[in-house]
Amino acid sequence: MPASIGVRGLVKEFGDVRALDALDLEIAAGSITALVGPNGAGKTTLLRILSGLSEPTEGVVLLDGRETAPDPRRLHAAVGFLPDHFGLYEDLTPRQSLAFFGRAYRLDEAAIAARTAEVLEQVGLTDKADVGSDTLSRGMRQRLGLARALLHDPQVLLLDEPASGLDPGSRRALQETLKAFAARGRTVVVSSHILAELDEYCTHAAILDLGRLVHQGPVSGGPARARRYELRVHGTAPDPELLKGRSGVGGVRVDGARLTFDFDGDEGAAAALLRDLVTSGAAVASFSEVQSTMQDRYLEIVSRRE
Amino acid sequence: MNALRAALPEVGRRWDGECTRSRLALGVATTTIVGACLFGLTRAVGAEHFDCFHVCVGLAAALLGGYGALRAAGSVSAERRQGTWDLLRLTPLSSFEIAAGKFLGAPMFPAILALSLLPWALAGAPLSKYGTPDGALPLLAFLAATALGSWAIGLMVSALADERLGNSEGTQAFVVVLLLPLISGSVPSFARNNAELGFETGQYWGATLPLWLIAAATWLAFGAWAFEAARWRIAHDKLEPLRPWRISAFMIFVVLYFAGFKAYDGAERSALIAWPYVAALVASLAEPWSRVQWRTWLSGAAARRLSGAPVWMRALATLAAIAAALSLSAPEAPRFPILLALFAARDVCFLQWCRLRVRKNADFVAVVYLAILYGLPLLIGGIAAHGQVNYFFAAIVKPNLGFALNVLPGLVEAAAAAALLFHAV
């Protein structure tokens, strides 16, 4: 069953340091949300609180609209979490280890056998199922950690730097696994610094800075600001005068053979602007919105702070 | 085994990881050979020179109480070091399921080794003057009680040990160093005394009971409390809502337990306050509170709820109630419990104040200051005032002083320490 997860007024203090500062966040059921931000922004702290590993100083965590604090076991049963740093039971094989966690998540023996085989296949560790966990490489350990988080088919999957230590092939496989998981209506929150990859599979982004939420929304959209457009004209380099005095237009820049500018208006207003340009005789070759990546938006937000 | 695995997954994990076929075969073969050699030696030289029964029981006690406690003492702290503790905390297992799984799972391998020695002990029993048939049941009961008690103590130390209290092999070794001679020595000596002294009995709460029963029940009762302390800490780590009754119930239990012995009859009853006093100090050492926790408790959503109060504060409140009860029940010596409760309040508040104000080694600094404070009466009393001002610094009854004057220093110091703490918060 899809589950939404949210936080209200979340504060977490470590001594004099405020890691999360009155954070409000809503993560929709069935979404894959990228949690990004500079080091020390509070991402790991937030994930640990969402997973029920850490207690907030103030504020509440909601799972499907219900507070989790009175019954943390309900949260633990619903959430799968892959922490940034974790250990393995070195004296167990991956199969034994997953069987142990399967029992801990109260799966029956038949379900444990089936799910163990399934998640080992998903993370590409089937051939290592019966070797000692102490012989696994770093990437394999990370994949075993992911298998553990997926084992009980959680409603919400929280991942802290899941691609750390993975080779390119495993990263691609991770993306496919997460997309397939979310396609079944499950909710995923993933924290990572590899923003280009997050763009490929995340549906939403939440940007944290200094313990506060500075942006949240769909990945295809941008932060609440004017959209950036690009204009090319036939023949010569475009003249900035073309856009002078037009409503909603600002930040005009000549960038080689094109003009880029911010336009504060919806798609209808953009179409009207294009019509005006053509009517006024401009030889428009192309007119399009510049799609900014998560990395662009992230860098823009961070640079604004600086 | 499958039902146990399903109910307590920790037991299954320990079995899979530690009781592998090769390990079990090697271990059991070793203890079998050792047992056979001990039995053969007894047959060869006679039980008066070498008593197989006695040695096998001692070895079994060492394996159960020493090695078993060592395994239990590493059960949580090792997971914290290895980074698997968080993964266990993420599961929906309850604190009881985790604690019980570790309690039974961690000492499983030593228990199997000890059990494999028991046939040799029983084989040697007829040769031994200590191995009387009538003594076998009490001995086994006592052995089992010491094993369960020592595992619970090991588990408690492991659960309470963290980075601050010394989450290391040293902590575990410390527990075993304490427990090993106690158990491996006391069990065989218990066996010997039991045979020689003809099943001694003792008075407990007016009833005449066999000593082995009192001793075994003591191990089991304190073991149960140690298990509960471990479970409390695991519940704390699991963010389970905590119920505030444990420390108070334990302090009352301690008083009632010792009150059953004749040594605390009459005027000595007031000395019972010393036991809950120690419990309050240990609770204070085991639970430091940061400013954030203080602020949350004083002004957060759960402001000043009893369930959210620090354990040491509840311990002090219980100590005050016990002191009042003891004063009423021991009219021959009513002052001492009240005095000790006041000085306990001073010590505990001072310790908490140090934690907020002293940046490094706050606990160590607090203990040093308190040691000086308790040492001062000796120094001043011995050199200058001939003991006349001792009661300024410690719970000392001065019969020639009125009640109010006697308790005044403790009251003032407790109030000052509480004010200091409140200011620091």
C-beta atoms of A101 and B91 within 8 A: yes
d(CA A64, CA A2): 9
Nearest-neighbour CA in chain A from B317: distance (Å):
26
Query: Is the minimum CB–CB distance between B89 and chain A shorter than 8 Å?
Result: yes
Pairing of strands A58-63, A66-67: antiparallel
pLDDT score of A306: 58
Query: CA-nearest residue of chain A to B301?
Result: A58
Query: CA-nearest residue of chain A to B6?
Result: A103
Own/partner contacts of B22-28, CB < 8 Å, gap of 24 or more, are B23/B109, B24/B109, B24/B112, B27/B109, B27/B112, B27/B113, B27/B116, B28/B112, B28/B113, B28/B116
Query: Is the minimum CB–CB distance between A131 and chain B shorter than 8 Å?
Result: no
Chain B residue numbers with beta carbons less than 8 Å from the beta carbon of A74 are 92
d(CA B175, CA B355): 26
Residues, chain B, total? 425
C-beta atoms of A86 and B87 within 8 A: yes
C-beta atoms of B9 and A88 within 8 A: no
Chain A residue numbers with beta carbons less than 8 Å from the beta carbon of B76 are none
CB atoms within 10 A of CB B230: 28
C-beta atoms of B82 and A90 within 8 A: yes
Q: Mean pLDDT of all residues in chain A?
A: 87
DSSP A281: T
C-beta atoms of B79 and A87 within 8 A: yes
Beta-sheet strand order (sheet of A58-63): A17-27, A5-14, A58-63, A66-67
Question: What digits encode the pLDDT tens for the residues A203-261?
Answer: 899 999 889 998 888 876 444 445 778 888 887 777 788 888 888 887 787 777 788 88
User: Which residues are CB-contacts of B249 (< 8 A; sequence separation ≥ 6)?
Assistant: none
Please give the ipTM for the structure prediction.
Answer: 0.84
Q: Which of A27, A30, A143, A150 is nearest to A80 (CA)?
A: A150
C-beta atoms of A69 and B90 within 8 A: no
Query: CA-nearest residue of chain B to A149?
Result: B87
DSSP-assigned letters across all residues of B165-232: TT-SHHHHHHHHHHHHHHHHHHHHHHHHHHHHTTS-EEEETTEEEEHHHHHHHHHHHHHHHHHHHHHH
Query: Is the minimum CB–CB distance between A100 and chain B shorter than 8 Å?
Result: yes
C-beta atoms of B90 and A90 within 8 A: no
Q: What Å distances lie between residue A91 and A87, A135, B107, B109, B381, CA to CA?
A: 12, 10, 16, 14, 60
Nearest-neighbour CA in chain A from B357: distance (Å):
13
Q: What Å distances lie between residue A4 and A29, B147, B233, CA to CA?
A: 4, 48, 31
Chain B residue numbers with beta carbons less than 8 Å from the beta carbon of A96 are 13, 16-17
Query: Is the minimum CB–CB distance between A115 and chain B shorter than 8 Å?
Result: no
Name residues of chain B where pLDDT drops below 50: none
pLDDT score of A304: 64
DSSP B394: S
Preferred mutation among A100, A101, A144, A159 to probe B, highest tally of B CBs within 10 A:
A100
Nearest-neighbour CA in chain B from A276: distance (Å):
59
Task: Indicate the residue of A15, A51, A104 with minimum beta-carbon distance to B9.
Answer: A104
Task: Indicate the residue of A91, A106, A148 with minimum beta-carbon distance to B92.
Answer: A106
C-beta of residue B73 within 8 angstroms of C-beta of residue B172: yes
Chain B residue numbers with beta carbons less than 8 Å from the beta carbon of A85 are 83
C-beta atoms of B17 and A13 within 8 A: no
d(CA A120, CA A131): 13
pLDDT score of A222: 44
How buried is B372 (Cβ within 10 angstroms: 0-12 exposed, 13-18 middle, 19+ buried)? Answer: exposed
Chain A residue numbers with beta carbons less than 8 Å from the beta carbon of B18 are 91
Query: Is the minimum CB–CB distance between A30 and chain B shorter than 8 Å?
Result: no
Give the ranges where chain A is alpha helix by DSSP (H). 43-51, 72-78, 94-104, 109-122, 138-150, 168-183, 195-201, 267-279, 294-305
Q: Where are the beta strands (DSSP E) in A156-248?
A: 156-160, 187-191, 204-209, 212-218, 227-233
Query: Is the minimum CB–CB distance between B32 and chain A shorter than 8 Å?
Result: no
Beta pairing partners, B227: none
With H, G, I as helix, E, B as strand and everything else as coil, classify residue B386: coil
d(CA B309, CA B302): 10
Rounded to an integer, the average pLDDT of A268-289 is 86
Query: CA-nearest residue of chain A to B81?
Result: A87
Q: Which of B215, B204, B212, B213 is nearest to B262 (CA)?
A: B204
C-beta atoms of B292 and A13 within 8 A: yes
C-beta of residue B147 within 8 angstroms of C-beta of residue B64: yes
Q: Which residue has the tokens 């931000």?
A: A37
Query: Is the minimum CB–CB distance between A217 and chain B shorter than 8 Å?
Result: no
C-beta of residue A42 within 8 angstroms of C-beta of residue A211: yes
Q: Which of A214, A75, A239 is nearest to A155 (CA)?
A: A75
d(CA B98, CA B158): 13
Chain A residue numbers with beta carbons less than 8 Å from the beta carbon of B93 are 104
* pLDDT over 70 percentage in chain A: 94
